[in-house]
Structure 1
């Protein structure tokens, strides 16, 4: 049975949300943004028309909610297939699968994100704590509310930026459009909506959480890379320059010649293990970002 044509924009969006049930939360957010922006723009261009008449016409031009949902699902499948990296050559042996991580671009991207996360974590933490403190401290003054509103707006913008970074590095689908702000509503209603949105506060929590996570990720990445390179390059440097693993009082101490091949193998194994760990951290962190930065249907 075909659902009746909705009479209001809110009803149209609700039917679209129901039609997209089970789809990715980021896809649902983008689809709802596009639909609401289009519908409210059409309504603003024709102020004399009611929402019911507009939606009756939209059902044949923009599409009914079920049709729009099908279009978004199809386009998302096409985009994901186009962006998906070619699958690596299948390795049958466990050893082959272990070392094949070196050809996985997602593992390298995750490792780069771990190194970058210290800088982003410091920035996010400083921005969140400073902005929150100033907003609370200035709340008794006349410009306290405008300052807090501006701060919350920047937090929501940063969540979109972080989402794009997460999607680029980890391949996790994140929103590509912000939450829609209905300009037809009174200003105070829009401000109240920002403060009442649970995603605003979950984003603030994510920004604060990024500092300890950034320190942890950075430490793991730097220590792992440094130790791996020392094991891989150390024997070569000692053989060519005399600079050993341990240097004390202008005396270099290397390792026995017969142990050098084992050291090289150990360095390669350790670096591949680090890439496996980075890829796993990327998956976990992507899921965390998805949970805290994406507006869910329950909101």
Structure 2
């Protein structure tokens, strides 16, 4: 059974869906995991190529490529646990072969080893994009929702100035507060829906680079 994304919830139903929060957690943490995997990939490649002329270069390169396969297995299980990817399909830890020499040759020639490495190199820019976009949307949505709450509790400042160059805000402060609340109420579910869509994309990427390469 292939690695698939679960069905998408309704617009406001997403706020009560556990998978939306775990997917958001995965995407926010992907910047940290992207930094770690990118550093591992670049350092491993540099060491493997730099030590290629020495005897020690072969075991270093073999350990690096085997570690890449191990990380690919861990990434797929993490996607299944947090993003909710369904299916029993998972990458094999090491390619089949009779004897360690045959397995080593298969590890180097297996396309999945190199596509897994590409996946981990891509995880850094994707993780930065996910983190920046989702944190911006979350903070904006929560800030907009806080406006009517603070206004109701008389804790927030009133609209006494020309906010953002919109003069009618000063003339209709109540309407401005209501619009902020409605915008925040719409933006938060949209943020979680976007997180689920980005999680689907990450599952698709993992399926093609970590499993079906």
TM-score by length of 2: 0.82
Match of 1:211 among 124, 127, 149: 124
Q: CA deviation at 1:236?
A: 2.8
Q: CA deviation at 1:174?
A: 5.7
TM-score by length of 1: 0.60
Say which is worse superposed, 270-279 or 166-175, in terms of deviation.
166-175
Q: Equivalent residue of 1:98, what SS?
A: coil
| Runs of 4+ off more than 6 Å | none
Match of 1:123 among 18, 36, 54: 36
Is it true that 1:112 corresponds to 2:29 in the alignment? no
1:1-299 equivalent positions in 2, closer than 5 A: 23-24=1-2, 97-172=10-85, 173=87, 175=89, 178-179=92-93, 185-237=98-150, 239-242=153-156, 256-295=173-212
Larger radius of gyration: 1
C-alpha distance in 2 between matches for 1:242 and 1:129: 49
Question: CA contact under 8 A between 2:31 and 2:128: conserved in structure 1?
Answer: yes
Check 1:165–1:281 CA distance in 2 against 1; reply closer, same or farther (3 A cut): same
Q: Equivalent residue of 2:11, what SS?
A: helix
CA offset digits 1:247-295 (Å, max 9, x no partner): xxxxxxx972342222111101011111111111111211111111114
Q: CA deviation at 1:168?
A: 1.4
Q: CA deviation at 1:169?
A: 2.1
CA RMSD of aligned residues (A): 2.7
Give the corresponding residue for 1:39: none
Check 1:235–1:180 CA distance in 2 against 1; reply closer, same or farther (3 A cut): same
CA offset digits 1:14-65 (Å, max 9, x no partner): xxxxxxxxx43x6xxxxxxxxxxxxxxxxxxxxxxxxxxxxxxxxxxxxxxx
Question: CA contact under 8 A between 2:20 and 2:195: conserved in structure 1?
Answer: yes
Question: CA contact under 8 A between 1:164 and 1:174: conserved in structure 2?
Answer: no
Check 1:132–1:244 CA distance in 2 against 1; reply closer, same or farther (3 A cut): farther
C-alpha distance in 2 between matches for 1:166 and 1:283: 10
Q: Which has the higher contact order (CA 8 A, sep 6+)?
A: 2
CA offset digits 1:172-200 (Å, max 9, x no partner): 236457345558x2322111110111100
Q: Equivalent residue of 1:215, what SS?
A: helix
Check 1:243–1:129 CA distance in 2 against 1; reply closer, same or farther (3 A cut): farther
Q: Equivalent residue of 2:48, what SS?
A: helix
> Is there any run of 5+ residues in structure 1 with no aligned partner, and where?
1-22, 27-83, 89-96, 246-253
Give the corresponding residue for 2:166: none
Q: CA deviation at 1:244?
A: 7.3
Give the corresponding residue for 1:63: none
Q: Equivalent residue of 1:141, what SS?
A: coil
> Is there any run of 5+ residues in structure 2 with no aligned partner, and where?
160-168
